[in-house]
Structure 1
Amino acid sequence: MEQLTLTTPALLFSAISLIMLAYTNRFLAYAAIVRNLHDRYKKEKDSVLKAQIENIKKRLYLTRSMQIFGISSLLFCVLTMFLIYIEQQFIAVWVFGFALLLLIISLSLLIVEIQISVKALEHHISDIENN
């Protein structure tokens, strides 16, 4: 097995940081949408609005999970660096592998969330096309 160096997990820092920024932006956008939908639903109890609220709720929970797995991945990368620093190479390799697995899960959830988002937008587009 090849030696894992401090620079290997450190390479993921910038990538994970950018991913987390994108996730946070998604979360903030959803928060604004939820507030808007809430206000509209208070005025008119429309079934379409209720469906939109359910859709955004599902996307919000996915985004939360994406953030949790992404942050956990970063945490395990830092732990990997610490283990390398204290010369626990064998454990460091396994911890880094786990960090990569968490990042894979986070990105996989992003794919699912994007598919749900596209379906929601397709409903809006079909409304426009039908009118």
Structure 2
Amino acid sequence: MEMTITTPSLLFPAISLLLLAYTNRFVTLTSVIRQLSKLDAADAEDLTRRQIASLRTRLQIIRAMQVFGVVSFLLCTLSMFALFLHWIMLGKILFGTSLVMLTVSLLCSLYEVQISTKAINIEIERLDR
């Protein structure tokens, strides 16, 4: 398989957009946590208790998403550098590893969406009361 320096560069916009989306999820989650901390203690006790474990897990997953995304971006950059130096095999290995890290990041994102859906269902329960 012929690989040029432009092959890994195709991932740059995708990874950048993913990192931006992950950051937005983090900011939104911290906003939710701040809102929960401001709720009246009597009204929010059950809701808060049920949400805390989910929020902690989601924060950890978002951090993992970001870490794997950044590692993917870094490996993609190193792949381009290796290809620039005509170290073709190293460039291919780094690019392949970058794709694996990006896949792990996306799988973490999928898992976080599953957890956030459960959290939204808890909110809907509260509204039903």
Q: One fold, TM greater than 0.5?
A: yes
**Structure 1: stretches of 5+ with no match in the other structure:** none
Aligned AA for 1:32? S
* TM-score normalised by the chain length of structure 2: 0.91
**Residue 126 of structure 1: how far off its partner (Å):** 3.3
What are the Cα deviations for residues 45-101 of structure 1, in whole angstroms up to 9, with x where unaligned? 713312212211111110010000001100000000000011110111111100000
> Gaps (5+ residues) in structure 2?
none
**Sequence identity, in percent?**
38
What's the CA shift for 1:36? 1.6
**Partner residue of 1:69?**
68
Query: For residue 102 of structure 1, what is the aligned residue in structure 2?
Result: 101
1:101-123 Cα offsets, whole Å, 9 max, x none, are 00000000011000001111122
CA contact (8 A) 2:47 2:126 kept: no
The amino acid that maps onto 2:93 is W
Whether 1:91 aligns to 2:70 is no
Task: State the superposition RMSD in angstroms.
Answer: 1.5
- Counterpart-to-counterpart distance in 2, 1:124 and 1:36: 13
Contact 1:3-1:89 within 8 A present in 2 as well? no
Kindly tell me the number of residue pairs found equivalent between the two proteins.
128
Shift of 1:14: 0.2
